[in-house]
Every structure is written in C-alpha cells, then in structure tokens.
Amino acid sequence: MALSRATGSAVAARPQSPRAVPNDPAWTDYFRRLVLEPAPRGGRRAFLVDDIATSLGSAIHRDARVLEVGTGRGDILARLPNTVRHGIDLLPEAVEAARERDSRMRVDLGDALTMELGEKYDAIIADRIVHSITDVQRLLENLAHHLTPDGRIYLTCFNYMWSVPLAIAAMMGIVERRATEENWLDEATFASLFALTDLEPIHADDRILLPADVPLVSDLLNKVAAKVRPFRFGSLYRIYTLRPRVASRPARPKVTVVVPARNEAGNVRAAVSRTPSMGAGTEIIFVEGGSSDDTWATIERVMAEYSGPLELRACRQRGKGKADAVREGFARARGDLLMVLDADLTVPPEELPKFFDAMISGRTDYVQGNRMVYPMEDDAMRFLNKLGNAGFARLFTFLLDQPIKDTLCGTKVIWKRDYERLAANRDYFGDFDPFGDFDLIFGARKLQLKIMEIPIRYRSRTYGETNISRFRHGLILAKMSLIASRKLKFV
C-alpha cells in the first residue's frame, strides 16, 4: 500500500499541491516488511486479497486503462486482464517486487498524494490505503485529477465497526498488532469527503463475513448474507465505486429516437408531430415489427409527407420482439445519444427533453422513465401489472445497488459509446430478454453507470393493444432477476 509521501519519487509532484505531511516511519517499516516477507498462500490475508481481486476483476471493464495507487507487490493489479495496467507505490522494494511479478505491468515509484502522471485512467484502484494515508481528502482529489470523464475510482476500506474488535484481538495476540494507529472512517465521514472532492458513490459493495474458505459456508455467508441487512453491517470490508459528481458531456449531441412499432399505425403520425428536435439535431428511426395492420404503409406515407426539422428513417425488423427492434434501431443510429420511445405514446414524446437535459448535465450516465409517481389515467396500467412492477422494482433496487422504482418503462436513454460497450459484452448475462429493458438496465449496472429515473405521467393507449403477456413475461423477468443476482450481486 502507498503511504503519504514519496522519498526520491520518480513522479513529479503537482505544482498546486501543498507540502505533504511527513511519513510515519513506523508505517514505512511495516509496509516494507510486508513486501519483503513471503507472499501468503493461505489464511485471512490471502483470502482477503483473493476476494478483492475477484470483485475488482468483475467490476472493471476489460478495455479500461487501469491505475492502482499503493500497488504493493502487485497482488491485485497482476490479476486483472487489462492491457494497460499502471501501478504507483512509495517503496522501491514494492516497485521491484511488482515488476518481477508481471513484467507487462508498468510500475513506478510515486506518492499517491503528490503524483502527476500526465495521463488519465478509466479505472483507479485505491486498495485500503485510506487507513494509512496522511490526508484522505488530498488522496481523493489527486485520484479524481487522473480520472477520465467516464472513469471510476474503486476505493476499498475496512468496516469501521471492526476497529474495536480488531484492537482487542491485537492486544490479545490473536491478530498482528499494527505499526501505528490507523485511520478509521465511517459512512458519514466518507460521505463528507466524497462531497468535498466532487465524487459520488454509485455502489457500496459490502464483502466477507467469514475470512476463510469453508466449503458451502463461506459462499453462503460471504456472497449472500454479507449483502443483506442486518448481516452486511458486520462485513469485513467495503468497495466504493465512485464517479465524478458532474461528468463532462457534449452540450449539443445529435439525438436518435428509436420507435419500435408493431400494429401501431394509428400512432405513427403523432409520434412524428409530437417529438421535439433536441441538441444538434434529432432523427427518428421507426423499426416496424411485422404488423398485421398497415403500420409500414403509414410510416412510408408520413415520411413522404413530412417537411419538419426531424430526420425520419425506417426499417423493417428482421427478428422478433421489442429487444431485437431496439437493437436494430440502435445499430442504425447516427446520433450520439440514443433514446427509446414506445410507439403507443403512453409516455408523451413531449417529455423527451427532460431526459436529454438529464444526460447532457453529466449528473447521470443512463436515464429511464418512472411511471409510478404521478396518478395514471384510467386503464393506463392494469392492477396486476402495477403489483408486479412494484415487486420487481424492490428486487432490482437490491440487485443493482441503485434505486429503481419502475423496471418496465419503455423510455430509456443511453450514450451511444456506452451502448456499444454494453452490446459487446451482452453475453455476460445471456441473450434472452424479449423486451430490451433489462438488457439495458443490467448492462448499465455492469458498466458501473449511474442510473437515474425521471417521473413522467403515464397515459392510456389511444390506439391498439399492449403486446405484453403478464404471466408468461413475468416468468421471464423472474428468470432474468435470478441470473442478475448471480452475475451482479452475489459475486
């Protein structure tokens, strides 16, 4: 782990940084001894490192440029599959050990508080160094300085609740006594530090109740019980996933609105006339899905007659289902910002600028509608649909570690560059979502995107009938939730 000040650092200090607080020699000696002693092959320390490496390997995208501060012997960084892996450590012995462990990694001597690398990274790891660093706020500021606009910081820390039991155990000789007093930070302190450094936590993953490999028992306690109340309050450590509070976004992106349309002839003209032009220009792509009415002919007629500011395009769907239609539309999109609008217009097209503004503000990375706040028009949603949606909303809030109140609202918005990353890794969850909603929600969570909902007023249909089968599709949603629990939550 990196300490607070480099001696003879090969990394230039940031000019605007004040003088660093001098090192505690006891910490320097302690970490030097950890680096020089044989790597543990069993026991609590090895179990902890294995769990951290597994968790970060699942969270960090494979094409991310990764920086780890406080690399130590490279136990975490060496296990990541990423091509670009850069490590910084205060101790020359640690730098040498990490380079020997994996020559493909670039590891330099440097101080996490004063480093100025001249590079930006998509993922920055700070593994437990908050407990020994002399200034956590300056650490976070410098990490944020080296982060790309879409980057993430992965900050691991021990549970504050363990500070007293560990101190007692050290006094009794059960665990090793630390070199000097550690920093112990609770949730409120972290919240203040994140606010001061313009960072916000997307997820807080509580991990490990039993730091030992006991068949069946370890998985039950560490992968399941540690994630739920009240057990998670006793977890050994936490991983915070942090993003810039307001990420840099283009002010006037081009927008693509994809409208899946099956048996929606009566809504085509209204979809065009009511959709506003946004950003540097807006295109609507109708994806016609094998209608039994004259939807395709109506689309062609409306496009031929239209003379407004929107760019209108259309294609006939080659596959089946809404998910396939959305993917086909997105594949043809020329815009930077991708929107999905259901052709039934139960979510009014006039609401789309709210979604546009939320995305370009940089306060979120993915946004969808929330139909469950305002009163609905009569017959807009059947009672069993409301009940099922409420149940899945609670389940998804737990699975995603982000609040979700409406899982099936058809209006969803994502940046094209994020969607392309999502699509490239779609096989992680499996390809059986007939709606496309969960493909986007789970994919956004896997990419560590911040998810936000915008309350909208849900209207009744004025033409046609819903294509949703409550019971058959409900079983599919339950199956997808089970897969998400295994792939996202209980890792």
pLDDT digits (tens, 9 = 90+) for 311-339: 999 999 998 888 899 999 999 999 999 99
Least confident of 58-62, 159-163, 361-365: 159-163
Q: Is the pLDDT of residue 491 over 60?
A: yes
Q: Where are the domains of the chain?
A: 25-244, 255-489
pLDDT digits (tens, 9 = 90+) for 382-431: 656 666 666 777 777 777 777 788 877 889 999 999 999 999 888 777 66
What are the backbone angles phi and psi of residue 340, rounded to the nearest 5°? Answer: -115, 130
Check residues 376 and 60 and name the one with the higher pLDDT: 60
Q: Do the Cβ atoms of 372 and 393 come closer than 8 Å?
A: yes
Confidence of residue 17 (pLDDT cuts 50, 70, 90): very low
Helices 383-400 and 437-446, axial angle in degrees (round to 10):
20
pLDDT digits (tens, 9 = 90+) for 180-206: 667 889 899 999 999 999 999 998 999
C-alpha neighbours within 13 Å on the C-beta side of residue 30: 16
The DSSP line for 336-388 is SEEEE--TT-SS-GGGHHHHHHHHHTTS-SEEEEE-SSSPPPTTSS-HHHHHH
Q: Which residues pair with 257 in a beta bridge?
A: 284, 339
The pTM (predicted TM-score) of the whole model is 0.84
User: Which run of H or of E encompasses 455?
Assistant: strand 451-455
pLDDT digits (tens, 9 = 90+) for 223-258: 888 888 888 888 989 999 999 998 878 889 999 999
Q: Is the pLDDT of residue 4 over 60?
A: no
Q: Is the pLDDT of residue 9 over 50?
A: no
Cis peptide before 244 (omega within 30 of 0): no
- Which of the following CATH numbers is that of domain 255-489: 1.10.645.10, 3.90.550.10, 1.20.1250.20, 3.40.50.720? 3.90.550.10
pLDDT at 385: 64
Check residues 13 and 458 and name the one with the higher pLDDT: 458
pLDDT at 29: 73
Largest CA distance in the chain: 84
Mean pLDDT for the chain overall: 84
CA nearest 6: which of 85, 106, 115?
115
Least confident of 14-28, 47-61, 317-331: 14-28
Q: Residue 134 has what DSSP assignment? A: S
The predicted model gives 14-37 an average pLDDT of 60
C-alpha neighbours within 13 Å on the C-beta side of residue 439: 25
- In 217-344 the beta strands, taken as DSSP E runs, fall at 237-244, 255-261, 282-288, 311-316, 337-340
Q: Say if domain 25-244 classifies as CATH 3.40.50.150.
A: yes
Identity of the highest mean pLDDT range in 193-202, 365-374, 473-482: 193-202
Check residues 95 and 384 and name the one with the higher pLDDT: 95
